[in-house]
Amino acid sequence: MATVLLVDDEPQIRTSLRGILAEEGLRVLEAEDGAQALDVIRRERPELVILDIWMPEMDGLQLLQHINDGSLPPAVIMISGHGNIETAVMATKLGAFDFIEKPFSLDGLLRTVNRALDHQAATQRRSGNGAADVNAIVETPAAVESTGAVVGPSKLWSERTIAKSVVASGLGLHSGGKTGLILQPLPAGSGIQFTSLSTEATVPAHLDWVDSTGYATTLHRDGVTARTIEHLMATLHAYRITNLLVKVQGEVPILDGSALELCRLIESAGVADQGGRVEEIVIHEPIAVGKEGGERIAIEPYDGFGIAYTLRYPHPVGVQQHTYLHRGPESFRDEVAPARTFGFLKDMKQLTAMGLASGGRLDNFILIDDEKVVNTQLRFPDELARHKILDIMGDTYLLGRPLRGMITANMTGHSDNISLLREVRRQMRL
């Protein structure tokens, strides 16, 4: 029987939650303030603390810091009637497992409680086994013998999530507003799900729910919208994360315009092997959309995963070509993740009129005029082509499974990427 501690200065809330949790077979303890809560935690060692933010003397965030000073502290769910993304980001940075807003539904609360208890049990198991190397974990498939052929049978990859909740914050590239990104572990079989602080509904990171591909990839379902997801999805693809809850306030923050900080975020969380299996999609025949010599993207058989991109723009960009062969998260982090979003000065007026690129700043994308790159030094001579590869890698993961094949693209964007995925699904009857 797991033990849950309720910390809230309002007795009626504690009474209501006690009844709900006790009916689920949980042992429930109560505390009305921070000092009392710390005493109960020391004596009873609960697996989970449900903690209100707004309390007298010691508020919930201060108490959370004290709770996490111990070795192997309990999981903590923060609750608040006056929450926002900045408060949620702060709570997660301080070690909270999740942040939920009042009023919340009973079903939603119980789902969060069960996730937190499952995560706490997994954390305790891992603490006895020691930490595992991210690169070694991510690229080791389940044992399947190779035939030695160019394209062998499909492999079964282990399901994975992150070991703890992590956060990032910044501006939305297109909205221009402050936004946050909270990543939380999910059980095996859950998939990658996007949600927000103000709803319990989710939208799966899957081709079925792509709503828009204009200058970014957007998902939408049941009132939940997640915009500009491609850099995050590329990072999850590279690290083979298969189960994750992503909380965003409308749009994933652009950060520095690349995926480098997202790589650091995943590595700071750690990768947790969950033991389930995901079968990769293997391409056996070429599949293409677009026209030869023009805008075109294709995938063909290849015993691995790779992307070759050709980009052609007038001076000062010219022709850029890059081929990326995925060899694990380290190769992605070094070769593709640092490549930043780019835009042309001549297009900015049109983008502004469309309500896009409002969050573009001189430090979060590459700005190009008729003569030169205006605001930065390129990280690679072919950084623009590498960024297109980053976008393709993110969009490709919307098939919901790892993909084995070689993608070749010429002057394509998000809409072309999604068209190719739909054609792959149609021809392979996925």
pLDDT number for residue 260? 97
User: Which residues of the chain fall below pLDDT 70?
Assistant: 71, 82-84, 126-151, 172-177, 347-363
Sequence-distant (6+) residues with CB within 8 A of 109 are 17, 20, 100
Instruction: Tell me if residue 315 is catalytic.
Output: no
CA distances from 384 to 111, 346, 369, 430 (A): 42, 17, 14, 32
What's the confidence (pLDDT) of residue 353? Answer: 55
Do 120 and 90 form a contact (C-beta atoms < 8 A)? no
What is d(CA 205, CA 280) in angstroms, rounded to the nearest whole number? 16
Q: Which residues have C-beta within 8 Å of that of residue 72, sequence separation ≥ 6?
A: 123, 124, 127
- CATH for the stretch 281-428: 3.30.1700.10
If you write DSSP's letter for every residue of 352-390 in order, what string do you get? HHTT--TT--TTTSEEE-SSSB-S---SSTTHHHHHHHH
Whole-number Å distance between alpha carbons of 430 and 102 = 40
Q: Which single residue is written with the structure tokens 């573009």?
A: 360
pLDDT of residue 259: 97
DSSP 111: H
CB atoms within 10 A of CB 193: 21
Domain ranges of the chain: 3-129, 150-279, 281-428
Tokens of 165: 């909740």
Contact between 296 and 288 under an 8 Å Cβ cutoff? The reply is: yes
Reported as half-sphere exposure (CB side, CA atoms, 13 A), residue 28 has a value of 18
Q: Which of 119, 322, 387, 414 is catalytic?
A: 414
Distance of alpha carbon 14 from alpha carbon 12, whole angstroms: 5
Instruction: Give how far Cα 234 sits from Cα of 51, 164, 181, Å.
Output: 34, 20, 15
Indicate the pTM of the whole model. Answer: 0.79
Let me know: does 228 contact 218? Beta carbons within 8 Å.
Answer: yes
Q: Check if 150-279 and 281-428 are the same fold.
A: no
Fold observed for domain 150-279: Ribosomal Protein S5; domain 2 (3.30.230)
| 404 neighbors 428 (Cβ within 8 angstroms) | no
Q: Which DSSP string do the residues of 270-321 spell out, in sequence order?
A: -EEEEEEEEEPEE--S-EEEE-TTSSEEEEE--SSEEEEEEEEETTTTEEEE
User: From residue 82, how far is each of 11, 79, 100, 101, 311 by CA, in Å?
Assistant: 19, 9, 10, 7, 47
- The class (CATH top level) of 3-129 is alpha beta
**Which segments of 126-165 are extended strands (E)?**
156-162
Please choose, from the candidates 13, 53, 43, 49, the residue with its C-alpha nearest in 3D space to the C-alpha of residue 28.
Answer: 49
Q: How many CB atoms lie within 10 A of CB 129?
A: 7
